[in-house]
Structures are given as structure tokens and as C-alpha cells.
Amino acid sequence: MVNLIGTYECKIDAKGRLLLPSALKKKLLPVLEQGFVLKRSVFQSCIEMYPMQEWNVLMARINKLNRFKKKNNDFIRKFTAGVKEIEIDASGRLLVPKDLYAFAGLKKEIVLSSAVNIVEIWDKEKYEKVIEDVGDDFSDLVEEVMGDNHEFE
């Protein structure tokens, strides 16, 4: 399992090309050769970048779903909509496909934010707004999500 830490600001061009910051590239070195999967986020207008090994773990869970249930098929179709397999070249560059670029509303300034085992790719203004909006309610969110978690005992 990959554990990523950090938030990185960088630039993306109009064709969707971006150069990974060297500190993030260094953290991704153990999984760089396997490739990555880009997909639309379910809850936010950002892109999620999964190292292939993390994607495979997730797909193993999804493959256990009964495809003879309509809601499962609908979920799989929506969840995998726009999924793209990508590689990061030797210089640390990657290409965000146009449909995902448009989905996330990316402009020149972007943020790459680690989210435990994936990297989220955000338009900088949208990222800052989401972080700011969570601010006042974050303590309530922490308590609700982590407060009754018996795994920490």
C-alpha cells in the first residue's frame, strides 16, 4: 500500500500536460513503472490518480459485486466513467486527458493533494474553496468520522 503525504502546487498547460513536483515524484518512485489510473472523483470536481497497485485492489473489490443487480451495474458504469490509464515519463510529466481536464475545470494553476493512497488533481481556486468551506465544520466532521472508531483503541 502506498502512503502519500503532501500538497503541491504546480502548473498545467492547455493541452493537459503537467510536470510532477520532484518531491512527489520521489514518493511515487516505488510505483512509477506500474503506471496510474486517472478517474473522476465521486464527491468533488477533481481528478483522482491511483497508482496501479491501488487501482487493482479497488477493482478486486468491485469485481466481487453481483453484475446481475442493476444498481451494481449502474454503480460500476458511473464509477468507471472516463477512467484512463496513464504513464508518467522519465522526466516526471503526465498528460491529463481532455475529458478529465474539462470535468475538473482545470486552469493553469493546479494543486496535487495526497489523499492517503491516491493523489487528487485540483484546480487551485476550487481546492482552496473546498478547504476553506470545510474549515468551521471540520471539528464536527472529525468527531463524526473518527470519534466512534474502535480501531484506535
- Give the per-residue pLDDT at 90: 86
- Give the per-residue pLDDT at 138: 73
C-alpha cell read off for 42: 465521486
Amino acid at site 82: G
- Give the per-residue pLDDT at 51: 96
- Give the per-residue pLDDT at 110: 97
pTM greater than 0.95 (yes/no): no
In the chain, where the domains are located: 7-123
- Give the per-residue pLDDT at 1: 64
Count CA atoms within 13 Å of residue 90 on its CB side. 0
Q: Are 15 and 36 in contact (CB under 8 A)?
A: no
Query: Does domain 7-123 match CATH 3.40.1550.20?
Result: yes
Count CA atoms within 13 Å of residue 136 on its CB side. 1
Q: Are 106 and 121 in contact (CB under 8 A)?
A: yes
- Give the per-residue pLDDT at 139: 74
